[in-house]
Amino acid sequence: MGQAHTEQPGLAAKPGALGELALTLPVFLVYQIGVVFLRVRNAADVVTAQLLAISNGDRTTYLEITVGAAAVLFLVFAVLGRGEVLRTRKLVQIVIEGTAYAIAMGSATSWVVGRIFAGAKGAATADPFTALVMSLGAGFYEELAFRVLLFGFGAKILVWLFAHQKVGLVGRAPPLGFRAVMVMIVWALVSAAVFSGMHYVGALGDRFDERSFVARAVLGLALTLVYSMRGFAAAVWTHALYDVWVLVF
């Protein structure tokens, strides 16, 4: 009898939910450690304030809790994922993918905005450390809020209501009919507009500008495509690396 073996998933395979979290842990951890040294944080960040409250505002205690929680999560991934989700080659693959998608996304956005407005404005940059930390925070928290929760769960509900089909949020999804695809396309456009519009809301929101609104909507659509085709981790790294490219370099 031949020796049985488990076939490893190929490079094109989307990671499962546990793998998605493991692959985004570096982004989350570096942001959570760095943001405590800043006076600003990402608008979608709902964790830092809670950790500071638990730490009674003490920065050292906050860092200890953050690193401790990351270590626990690392062990959980190692045990439940049997080591597969922590393979270095998968993380390297996701980073390379994210870099390629970020470059393509930036080029596409520049082309679209340039065609509509005959040129785009450059982005204002902060100091490199602040820009790096905020880029990572945007990558993790905004993808969680706008791609997973808004687009992902919203599409799941809307497709079920209007097309009577189920949409998978992680991993392989069943084939969708024409009506379901149309619902998802419309919802992707709406979600991208909401994603763009939220950048102008609140005390730290930007002043509204048509050029930047269209650019961010295009970015939102591109990130929705990455999330739908390649998963949460790929979208997080793409978003984070794009922001690092724009704000730092």
Residue 194 pLDDT class (50, 70, 90 cuts): very high
| Residue 84: DSSP 8-state | G
Using CA atoms, how far residue 202 sits from 66, 168, 178, in Å, is 27, 33, 38
- Which pair of tokens denotes residue 31? 């942001």
Which pLDDT value is given to residue 11? 61
d(CA 61, CA 40): 19
Residue 6 pLDDT class (50, 70, 90 cuts): very low
Average pLDDT, the chain: 86
Q: Is the pLDDT of residue 239 over 60?
A: yes
Residue 96, burial from CB neighbour count under 10 angstroms (0-12, 13-18, 19+): exposed
Which pLDDT value is given to residue 1? 42
Please state which of the ranges 69-73, 202-206, 217-221 shows the lowest mean pLDDT: 202-206
Residue 2 pLDDT class (50, 70, 90 cuts): very low
Using CA atoms, how far residue 162 sits from 176, 184, 234, in Å, is 12, 10, 29
- Which pair of tokens denotes residue 27? 């982004």
Task: Count CB-CB contacts under 10 A for residue 51.
Answer: 17
d(CA 198, CA 205): 8
Which pLDDT value is given to residue 5? 41
Nearest alpha carbon to residue 36 among 20, 18, 55: 55
- Which pair of tokens denotes residue 129? 């450390």
CA 135, distance to chain mean position in Å, is 11
Q: Is the pLDDT of residue 30 over 50?
A: yes
44-84 pLDDT, tens digit per residue, is: 998 999 999 999 999 999 999 999 998 888 888 777 766 55
CA quadruple 44, 49, 51, 52: dihedral sign = positive
**For the chain, which residues make up each domain, given as ranges?**
17-247
Please state which of the ranges 21-35, 101-115, 122-136, 162-176 shows the lowest mean pLDDT: 162-176
- Amino acid making up residue 137: G
Q: Is the pLDDT of residue 37 over 50?
A: yes
- Amino acid making up residue 168: G
